[in-house]
Structure 1
């Protein structure tokens, strides 16, 4: 799948979240009411990785990286704040898992009223 198609799939997931926005060109900023919950990164600072960095709950970063270090990693700059990242350029992308990770990140940043609209 081309990077453009991957970018479009990520943007489509974000579009399903109440008041979430997805802005940018090569890299995308995923936000809700000016609070960033993720980034789509395409060769960020020449690292050659296509992935998504996302806000993670305490302890989640380490658990994800330990569970599958080939796919999950600690993103530059944001890793120190507990964020995690998932590669979209190795193997098949598990879109349901990515949707869940982004929805969880959104829940950490969105106002309670918007989170309530998600249900479940």
Structure 2
């Protein structure tokens, strides 16, 4: 099971990331773009993810991944149950989400060119 502290340690180690508390929800963003957001009880983590790949991800593990809440469906976003993933899976999801919101040069410099995940 992944905790908000596990995610925080990784997210805050990534260049340009800031933590914010918005309406009692922990969020991580680059500038004004949120790429990670916990629900209020921290049992579900929303993260940036390509819309065109969303349905396949959810279908691959429906007990793990959830569609975004209706107001967020228009965004590149999906959710995961934190109890259903381990720290290595969380690391991949967080890095991929962060890579979606930073310039490629920043990601390449931090991750050593090839990056992680996809």
- TM-score, length-scaled by structure 1: 0.78
1:41-75 per-residue CA deviation (whole Å, 9 max, x = no partner) reads: 234xxxxx711111112422111110111110012
- Alignment partner, residue 95 of structure 2: 103
Shift of 1:80: 3.0
Residues 1:21 and 2:13 aligned together: no
In the alignment, the residues of structure 2 paired with residue 24 and residue 9 of structure 1 have an alpha-carbon distance, to the nearest angstrom, of 17
Aligned length: 110
Task: State the partner residue of 2:9.
Answer: 12
Q: Which runs of 5+ in 1 are unaligned?
A: 44-48
Tell me which residue corresponds to 1:46.
none
Q: What RMSD over aligned residues (CA atoms) do the two structures have, in Å?
A: 2.1
**Which ranges of structure 2 fall in alignment gaps of 5 or more residues?**
none
- 8 Å contact 2:51–2:75 — kept in the other structure? no
Provide the C-alpha distance between the structure 2 equivalents of 1:110 and 1:54, rounded to a whole number of angstroms: 14
